[in-house]
Amino acid sequence: MTLFGYRLPGMSSLIVWGLLWEIVGQSGLTFFVPPLSEVVATLFGVIGTSAFQKALAETAYAFIAGVFFAIVIGIPVGILMGKNRLLDEMLLPWVNVFLSAPLTALVPVLMVLFGFGMKSIIITTTLFGIWIIILNSRAGVKQINRSLLEMAHSFGASPMDAFFKIYFWAALPEILGGVRIGVIRAVKGVIIGQLLISIVGFGALFELYSANFLMAHFWAVLIVLFALAFSISEFLAYLERRVSYYAAKR
């Protein structure tokens, strides 16, 4: 988008939407949308409160733990599936099933099996993120150029060498792509977990604010959460671009 010969930066239209929000808020059109200025003012107040920091800490803990398991389990499983045909054929249908299944339906099972606490929320987060990580790691290994492996073999690389110096790096662009999508899904998973399993973290804040009609507070926390989610996703996209330079030239 160019205006008077200047290229407008990609996300600059959000300023326009912010202004629109302010106008709608000021006009008092609806109780549910307070002016953006009020929301921002509230935001700085809210960030300092212990309730917010507790919510952030709880959410971050569940999220990081969930993503950790998704990555630590997902990548090796994916690589093994890419290397072993039997394993691949046994597991792939299930990975595809869980990739597209409505995982929210599984949350009640987690609740009765693992209780109404942090454990279930972490597992929910992992469940949301892991399948795409497996699938992409598998795809990454599958597309490795055969001549690259034959090259390693002919230069006398040991299996360990081949794994760490060839497989991992050659599949890295796809793996990182999977991790990025997996992490975005995990963000959604952690919030869904908090809303459904036990009302803790941001889920508790949202319930509290909406029950007490604190709309500015509600939107303030929502903005923080969305901004965090968006930053994480952009950061991972940046990492992915850093390695994708060689993905194009294989």
Partner 1 sequence: MPDRALLLKLLSAVILFGAWEIAGHIPISYAFPTFLESMSAMFRMIADGTMIDAYAETLRPLVVGVAISAVLGIAIGLWIGLSNFFDWLFSPIFIVMQAAPLAALIPLLVLAYGIGLTSKVLVVCIMAMPVIVLNTAGAVRNTPESLKEMGRAFLASEPSIILRIIIPAASPVIFAGLRLGISAGFIGAILAELKITPTGVGDIITYSRSIADYPSMYAAIFSIILLAVLFLNLLERTETLLFKGNERGYVSD
220 is a site residue for partner 1 (CB under 8 A): no
Neighbours of 240 (CB within 10 A): 19
- Cα separation, 180 vs 177, in Å, equals 5
What number of CA atoms fall less than 13 Å from residue 147's CA on the CB side? 1
112 is a site residue for partner 1 (CB under 8 A): yes
What number of CA atoms fall less than 13 Å from residue 150's CA on the CB side? 3
Nearer to partner 1, 52 or 206 (CB): 206
User: What letters, b where the CB count within 10 A reaches 16 and e where it falls short, cover 145-164?
Assistant: eeeeeeebeeeebeeeeeee
Query: Which residue among 106, 157, 162, 172 contacts partner 1 (CB under 8 A)?
Result: 106
Neighbours of 30 (CB within 10 A): 10
90 is a site residue for partner 1 (CB under 8 A): yes
Neighbours of 181 (CB within 10 A): 18
List binders of partner 1 among 30-59 (CB under 8 A): 32
* # binding residues, partner 1 (CB under 8 A): 55
Query: Which residue among 91, 149, 162, 172 contacts partner 1 (CB under 8 A)?
Result: 91
Binding site for partner 1 (CB under 8 A): 1-2, 8, 10-14, 16-17, 32, 86, 89-91, 93-94, 97, 100-109, 111-113, 184, 187-188, 190-192, 195-196, 202-203, 206-207, 209-211, 213, 218, 222, 225-226, 229-230, 232-233
